[in-house]
C-alpha cells in the first residue's frame, strides 16, 4: 500500500467517523456505546493513517 492508498483509507475512516454520529443524531442508527466508540476510534485512526500517508508522500516526492 502506497501513500495514496493510506490517504484514501484515512479519508474513508474520517468520513465514517463524522457520518456515524450524524446518523445517530438523525436517529437512523440506534445510539450505542460501541457505535460511538467505533466512530471515535475510526476518526482518530483515520487522522493518524492519513497524516502518515501525507508524510510518506512528501518524503518520496521531496526535492533536495
Where the chain has pLDDT below 50, the residues are none
- This prediction has a pTM of 0.87
d(CA 45, CA 63): 29
State residue 33's pLDDT score.
95
Domain boundaries, given as residue ranges, for the chain: 3-61
14 and 46 Cβ atoms separated by less than 8 Å: yes
State residue 64's pLDDT score.
62
Joined together, the cell numbers standing for residue 19 give 457520518
Amino acid at each position: 500500500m502506497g501513500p495514496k492508498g493510506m490517504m484514501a483509507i484515512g479519508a474513508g475512516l474520517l468520513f465514517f467517523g463524522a457520518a456515524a454520529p450524524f446518523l445517530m443524531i438523525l436517529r437512523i442508527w440506534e445510539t450505542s456505546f460501541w457505535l460511538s466508540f467505533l466512530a471515535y476510534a475510526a476518526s482518530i485512526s483515520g487522522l493518524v493513517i492519513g497524516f502518515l500517508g501525507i508524510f510518506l508522500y512528501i518524503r518520496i516526492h521531496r526535492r533536495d
